[in-house]
Structure 1
Amino acid sequence: MAVSDYLVTDDLTIILALVAAGLFLLHNLYKPQALVHPILLGRQSDVARVRNPSESAVYRNYGTGMLGRFPLRPTKDQQVVLDLVKPDVDAPRTLWSTKITNLQLRERVANVGAGLTRAVGLVPQESNVLLLLNDGIEFLVADLALSALLVPTFTVASASVISPVLESHPPSVIITNPELLQHVLELIYDAHESEHHTIVVTGDISGLNLPKVDHVKILMWDDIEADGAAAAKAALPVPDPNDVYTVSFFQTPTGDLEGVQLTHQNLTAGIAATRALLPPSSALSPLDTIVSAFPLGTPYGRAVAYTALFEGTGFATVDSTKLIKSESGGSAPTGMKDLRTSGVYSVSSPTLLFVRPDHLNSLTDAISQEASNSSWFLFNFAWRHKLAGVLEGYITKQSLWDRLVFDSARMKVMGKGAGTVRAVVVGGGPLEAQNLTPSRIALSVPVINVHSHPLVAGPVFASHALDLQTFPPSGTAPSASASDAYAFTYLAPVGPPSVNVEVKLTGVDDSAVEAGSDPVGALRVRGPSVGRPLSVEEEAQEEEERGWRTTGEHAKVAANGTFKVSPAGKA
């Protein structure tokens, strides 16, 4: 009998077969493809071939390689900090609420430098100036002017270290805001110092009820800038890239005062690393606007701000970066409440957010809640499809589910930023791995997890912008502390080392490493963006002489070269 005698078909069978074939083809043709090949994510660090006993191998970013040179500056023309303000770029940008060109900014820098020299008599490489300024354009102008005068600046990461800095490192001059002036005068009065202080104030103080303090001379910023504008500008010496440009003070986890010396090269290297956070296909441009949650008084916060300055982008910060958080003495704003404070500045809608984990989590929760309230059924259906795309390594803001569900929710939460934000860089605290995927679904933009440290001007670690991999919680060694066990099990990886930082772990278990376990140990860092702590003694240990700096943190490195870091000072 012929084969056709055994095959009985009708029109319905043929139609169903065609529908099944069409669905199969559609599924394969429209299945999202990973934005970056998994092979590239399988080896994100270049690892040295040898290691010392009780140490891990040295790890570098795979893009740099063990034999590559660390980038020291954004381009060859940026040798010192003032070079970041490129004179050949004449397009204006908005810094906080001030629209200004590079030439205008350089002119203000020269005027303030000349005015400070005439009014205070600063001595290059001998005087120093304490910048007690909330983030604003005055901070940038003062910082750039003093760097050109070869006068190191002092900055503080928080108000809690102002008093110990004044006691142990008395500055030649203090530059501050009216909001901070009363606090500074009270500290000087309580210290019963006989030393003369000169304070430059950047705003109007006529309405302030200030305590009367002897040996204090108060000058006005506007008067100094006007005086400098009328004065003849003398030729300034050219700074050396290795000159100490600033000292940043911070509080250690044990409560002690610590400071880090940063050279011009440290900062330019940090800017090179910050620019590398984004892939070349979506690099920073003058069309961008950055909103940062990291104060300029910290090395990482200053690297972010000066990256914006170099690229010609708009820039603003949030209220939590202020030294004095509120006049009522309340706690600093967090989450969405803090993010919305950047709206008081007349900058364009942000395109890049440099935020803390509390900002990211609050933003994710708000968007998810709005989307769920609009239509619970559609939200769950859209979430499932978006999650499938993320698990395949693919995200987009242009999908059907974005148009139906998430776009309107983002607009209600983020306003105009819903359509302009194209990347989020999160750092400054631990981020749990379980929060990363919901954030990527809700925002549908790259979320880059960064680890920073007070000793480093720029990121220490940074995840790949398009690395959407998720891994199940991994076990830890029985001897690990509670903090390490939590961090290495539940925290999100912070990626490989930055492009100009190399790291190693000390105190590792040699037998466990030889058996194939992931190395776990104390984190040490080295590179051109790493500063020198003030606590380093003249007779430094061999490790310090070779440039390795102790971070006080523990880390674990996975087989693909990404790290997890346990925060310092936790028990």
Structure 2
Amino acid sequence: MSNMEDFLEFNIVTYTLITVVLGLLVVPILWQTDPDIHPLILHRQSNVAPIRNPKESAVHRSNNVPSNQPFVTGLNLPTEQKFQIRDGDIRDIWKLAVEKGNGKMLSVRGADVHEIDMADLTANIHSLGTHLASIPGAKRIAIYLANDIENIVATFACAFYDLHLLILPFDPTASSASVNALLKRSELDVLIAPAGQLPLKDVEGVKLKQLIYVVERGSQHLDFNSPPGSAIKTAIYHEIIKTPGSPPPSGSIDLKAPSVITFATNFIGNDKKIEITPFNHRNIIAGVASAIHALPKNEQLTKNDVFIPVDTLSDLYTRINTYAALASGATLALNPVSGSSADFEKCVARVRPTVVVASPNTLDEVHRKTMGSQIEMWHGIIHYFQSRTLTVHGSIPKGNFWTRVNDYARPSAGDPSRLRLILTAESAGDLESKPLNSEDLSDLRVFFGCKVVYGLKHYLVAGPICQTHIYDYRVQPQIPKPSRKKGILKRCAHFGPVAPGCEVVTRDYQEYSAADEGGSRGEIVVRGLTVSGAGSGGKGEVKLGVVGKWWPEGVLSYV
């Protein structure tokens, strides 16, 4: 008996071990939080039609617009008739921004952040619109501009004065020959471009009624007017907006006529070419409405948000989400260094954004750099437990004192960060993109401490085609995507359920069939009002030229 008592004698080591064991069992229970969403909700993410056509999968739609309901097509604006609403047009986006917003827009240039009053911007829109409308025969207005205030002013000047806006892909590193070739294809009447980056000699041979130069503030003392005898007349943007404009026409405009014309890269085999695609007001507004309603109501943008497009506004998906932010009253911040491969931290350094839209290429670079900064064992431990919080407990890890002790170098979005949402999308059929897999997305959520939404876009569709559920943090089996180099496979996460502005099917293609076991497979086909040229009935249809697969929970992925 004495030997047994000696064996059971407790000392400081025993008590310490008991405390550690109890702590490991009890502390997680006390600190455990509820998941952001019930896991079962993620098991039925699309509304699937009960029947299907031969050689096609069943029609997949957003759960918000089942098969017997119309698509989301507009901004639900009031009319003079009670209990009636209208979809609106691009002009209404600016009106909503003025009505619902904080009355300002931010222009970020290096270390300087300028607040610009919305009333001043409205006056600039009227001044520029009046000037453009006064040019005889000028109907097609092209912009070759970075993400800055002049881009937005020109956009809505064209909308209010019923002009066609041509959005040229802005690339300061592009050769003058390639830009000149693009201008000749555009059949434009007026070009708005930055002074110095596009000299007169670079637009030789282009039939222009006028070239409007946007001159940097520090260079406005220089003379950028065309020399005597020049075939192209020039005007200076900052001089135009000094002249008060006339109110825009109050009558209705043709909502079916091309209002926004985009230029995007399309791959045919391994060859790429620039495609010119027209969108009318109905297409654009349907895309904006689809982007707004693709997010749950409690996650949609409000006047409390600061939105910054890190990707270029030449990209239609980025532009549609920017329109959606304006229509929601969010404060828009613009940085001219933004682009498809922009440095994320440089773009947001002087602004504390809450919502960002960025390209997969930019986020892939953020992921590469951040993973490379995890050089100690402690960094791996922190990342493991925060990833577990995300994927197992279903909540975004915000970190605490212990995780910040000797932490690895995380991407910064302001100090302290207010970032709550990042939007990004894979371009269907783009062989030069850097698709993100579900492990990458999980890592990015840990790095930023915010939600990351991944979607599918295409240059013929306004807004998202599919978009992952904002609370879907799962790490899925990796799906291969062929790269440009034969024999090498990239990996890509699924794209989530269908956006509420369209419907998607897969159509039998070569060896891929709707009857395949494990999920229908085939060429991805999109239908709806967000498709380029679709009429008021939303009958537009486009084949994306890529093969997709439906998963049991109603999400779409590459095969």
TM-score (norm 2): 0.80
Structure 2: how far apart are the matches of 1:263 and 1:133?
21
The alpha carbon displacement at 1:506 in A equals: 1.5
Correspondences of 1:275-290 after superposition (within 5 Å): 275-290=292-307
Matched residue, 2:418: 420
Q: Quick one: structure 1 residues 91 and 38, their matched pair in 2 at CA, closer, same or farther if it must change by over 3 Å?
A: closer
Among residues 86, 92, 95, which one is paired with 2:106 in the alignment?
Answer: 95
Matched residue, 2:547: 554
Aligned pairs, number:
516
Q: Quick one: structure 1 residues 528 and 103, their matched pair in 2 at CA, closer, same or farther if it must change by over 3 Å?
A: farther
Correspondences of 1:228-239 after superposition (within 5 Å): 229=244, 232-233=246-247, 235-239=249-253
Matched residue, 2:452: 447
% identical equivalent positions: 20
Residues 90, 102 of structure 1: 8 Å contact kept:
no
Matched residue, 1:4: none
What one-letter code is carried by the residue in structure 2 that aligns with 1:358?
A: N
Consecutive unaligned residues of structure 2, counting only runs of 5 or more, are: 1-6, 79-86, 109-113, 427-432
Structure 1: how far apart are the matches of 2:266 and 2:414?
39
User: 2:287 matched to 1:291?
Assistant: no
Structure 2: how far apart are the matches of 1:137 and 1:397?
34
Structure 2: how far apart are the matches of 1:42 and 1:206?
62
Question: How far does the alpha carbon of each residue in 1:441-482 deviate from its partner, in whole angstroms, 9 at most, with x for none?
Answer: 222221111221111221111111110111234699xxx999
Q: Quick one: structure 1 residues 514 and 305, their matched pair in 2 at CA, closer, same or farther if it must change by over 3 Å?
A: closer
Structure 1: how far apart are the matches of 2:184 and 2:73?
35
Matched residue, 1:325: none
Correspondences of 1:162-561 after superposition (within 5 Å): 162-182=179-199, 185-189=200-204, 191=205, 195=207, 197-203=209-215, 204=220, 206=222, 214-227=230-243, 229=244, 232-233=246-247, 235-254=249-268, 255-310=272-327, 311-317=329-335, 319-321=337-339, 334=341, 338-342=343-347, 348-370=351-373, 372=374, 376-392=376-392, 393-399=394-400, 401-404=402-405, 406=407, 409-410=409-410, 413-414=411-412, 416=414, 419-428=417-426, 429=433, 430-473=435-478, 490-508=491-509, 513-514=514-515, 516-532=517-533, 546-561=539-554
The alpha carbon displacement at 1:60 in A equals: 0.8
Matched residue of 2:547: which SS? Answer: strand
Residues 354, 420 of structure 2: 8 Å contact kept:
yes
Matched residue of 1:525: which SS? Answer: strand
Among residues 84, 87, 90, which one is paired with 1:81 in the alignment?
Answer: 90
Question: How far does the alpha carbon of each residue in 1:142-178 deviate from its partner, in whole angstroms, 9 at most, with x for none?
Answer: 1211111111111123557643443344222222211
The alpha carbon displacement at 1:292 in A equals: 1.7
Q: Quick one: structure 1 residues 497 and 209, their matched pair in 2 at CA, closer, same or farther if it must change by over 3 Å?
A: same
What one-letter code is carried by the residue in structure 1 that aligns with 2:288?
A: I
Matched residue of 1:499: which SS? Answer: coil
Matched residue of 1:261: which SS? Answer: strand
Structure 2: how far apart are the matches of 1:444 and 1:459?
24
What one-letter code is carried by the residue in structure 2 that aligns with 1:381?
A: I
Residues 147, 313 of structure 2: 8 Å contact kept:
yes
The alpha carbon displacement at 1:44 in A equals: 0.9
The alpha carbon displacement at 1:218 in A equals: 0.8
Q: Quick one: structure 1 residues 318 and 102, their matched pair in 2 at CA, closer, same or farther if it must change by over 3 Å?
A: closer
Matched residue, 1:115: 131
The alpha carbon displacement at 1:232 in A equals: 4.8
User: 2:147 matched to 1:135?
Assistant: yes
Which has more helix, going by share of residues? Answer: 1
Question: How far does the alpha carbon of each residue in 1:397-435 deviate from its partner, in whole angstroms, 9 at most, with x for none?
Answer: 1445544455x743xx41625522112222244213332
Question: How far does the alpha carbon of each residue in 1:548-571 deviate from its partner, in whole angstroms, 9 at most, with x for none?
Answer: 1122222222111111137xxxxx
Q: Quick one: structure 1 residues 455 and 90, their matched pair in 2 at CA, closer, same or farther if it must change by over 3 Å?
A: closer
What one-letter code is carried by the residue in structure 2 that aligns with 1:284?
A: L
What one-letter code is carried by the residue in structure 2 that aligns with 1:470?
A: V
Residues 437, 478 of structure 2: 8 Å contact kept:
no
Question: How far does the alpha carbon of each residue in 1:507-529 deviate from its partner, in whole angstroms, 9 at most, with x for none?
Answer: 25799643533222111112222
Structure 1: how far apart are the matches of 2:484 and 2:277?
29
Matched residue, 1:327: none
Q: Which of 201-210 and 492-501 deviates more?
A: 201-210
TM-score (norm 1): 0.79
Q: Quick one: structure 1 residues 433 and 236, their matched pair in 2 at CA, closer, same or farther if it must change by over 3 Å?
A: same
Please tell me the root mean square deviation across aligned C-alpha atoms, in Å.
Answer: 3.7
Q: Quick one: structure 1 residues 258 and 436, their matched pair in 2 at CA, closer, same or farther if it must change by over 3 Å?
A: same
Structure 2: how far apart are the matches of 1:319 and 1:470?
33
Q: Quick one: structure 1 residues 28 and 187, their matched pair in 2 at CA, closer, same or farther if it must change by over 3 Å?
A: same
Q: Which of 133-142 and 396-405 deviates more?
A: 396-405
Residues 149, 236 of structure 1: 8 Å contact kept:
no
Matched residue of 1:291: which SS? Answer: strand
Q: Which of 243-252 and 34-43 deviates more?
A: 243-252
Residues 264, 275 of structure 2: 8 Å contact kept:
yes
The alpha carbon displacement at 1:356 in A equals: 1.9
Q: Quick one: structure 1 residues 163 and 236, their matched pair in 2 at CA, closer, same or farther if it must change by over 3 Å?
A: farther
Which has more strand, going by share of residues? Answer: 2
Structure 1: how far apart are the matches of 2:312 and 2:140?
20
Structure 1: how far apart are the matches of 2:187 and 2:28?
69
What one-letter code is carried by the residue in structure 1 that aligns with 2:129?
A: G
Consecutive unaligned residues of structure 1, counting only runs of 5 or more, are: 1-8, 322-331, 537-543, 567-571
Structure 2: how far apart are the matches of 1:90 and 1:280?
18
Matched residue of 2:123: which SS? Answer: helix
Structure 1: how far apart are the matches of 2:254 and 2:547?
35
Structure 2: how far apart are the matches of 1:484 and 1:79?
47
